[in-house]
Amino acid sequence: MTEHTKPAAKPQRPFFSSGPCAKPPGYSPDKLATESLGRSHRAKIGKTRLQYSIDLMREVLQLPDTHRIGIVPGSDTGAFEMAMWTMLGARPVTAMAWESFGEGWVTDAVKQLKIDPTVIRADYGQLPDLTQVDWSSDVLFTWNGTTSGVRVPNADWIADDREGLSFADATSAVFAYDIDWSKIDVATFSWQKVLGGEGGHGVLILGPRAVERLESYTPAWPLPKVFRLVSKGKLSEGIFKGETINTPSMLAVEDAIFALEWAKGLGGLSGLKARSDANAAALDKIVAERDWLGHLAADPASRSRTSVCLTVEGADADFIKQFAALLEKEGAAYDIAGYRDAPAGLRIWCGATVETADIEALGPWLDWAYASLKAA
């Protein structure tokens, strides 16, 4: 491989993974509160910290009191599957897929729950025609496609008079975009995305129509214990007050609290959005200045501002693997290869925990890696 001159400066924090994502600036494990560690999550200190994390999420997300927040097992996947298993089957279902995780919900609905949904698909980098959705059905969709870099532009396409429920996998969207919660009946996410928290725990948000469904409908299939949200026909309210279904990691909870307090110190949602927007704009500039780079999501209106997916001229999967490995070896960028099921390309996280200066410093290193491999 031909030796090219390496850029003089590296990103100070070369953490561009799309999950788990970069920790908040200034993070250190020794800054976490430790009073709850080694204690029962059902002790007063455990319940207090779990409830505090829920209160912080509500405040930062600007979530109305109409919606409940619960901490559940299994990251975003566990939270979304909990919603599917407990609420689907009451009426027809429309499942939408424009990237791998949305496709996963299609697979669950078709092969596991066997509910024969209407499936609406689009290729990676595209959105389907959202106006074709029939809101007499329950609708499953991904707000921000982490593996495709495509997002819904807003919630305007969700009907106010919908008969079905809206199920939003919002794991790369919450804390980065404005979400009209009046349009969302069910939302799920994990701390490991925009907050830069630890994996393993999911968050389930339920609007009043979702609660009504849970209390009025019993699925035909058996439910494992970790999915059970109802007891004796009523919502298990304790789950939404920090009384988790199974034992949570209090270390992960304290880690999330650190990130939420950091977010609150930025001004909450507006501060988080501003940081994500600045990062995405800095990466847009890098792409615009290079004819060998492009956006997988061609339409800016539906382009992610968190998980930004890029095309590389002439690249195949092996080229991208070498590209990412070169930058990792230099300590210039970690984990920037695109998702394994997506078209060959790069994926660079631009969420709020990333510093804009590090995005800007990444540009010359992308040039170096590209030129080095092309000359090989």
What confidence score (pLDDT) does residue 2 get? 52
What architecture is the 29-264 domain classified under in CATH?
A: 3-Layer(aba) Sandwich (3.40)
- Convert the pLDDT of each residue in 6-58 to its tens digit: 999 999 999 999 999 999 999 999 999 999 999 999 899 999 999 999 999 99
Residue 328: both structure tokens together: 């990792």
* Report field, pTM of the whole predicted structure over 0.85: yes
Domain with CATH 3.40.640.10 in the chain: 29-264
Q: Which of 307, 300, 289 is nearest to 345 (CA)?
A: 307
Domain 268-374, what fold? Answer: Aspartate Aminotransferase, domain 1 (3.90.1150)
- Convert the pLDDT of each residue in 142-201 to its tens digit: 999 999 999 999 999 999 999 999 999 999 999 999 999 999 999 999 999 999 999 999
Q: How far apart are CA 173 and CA 142, in angstroms?
A: 9
Q: Which of 224, 200, 261 is nearest to 72 (CA)?
A: 200
Domain with CATH 3.90.1150.10 in the chain: 268-374
* 79 pLDDT above the threshold of 70: yes
Contact (CB, 8 A) for 64 and 181: yes
Q: What is the CA radius of gyration of the chain?
A: 21
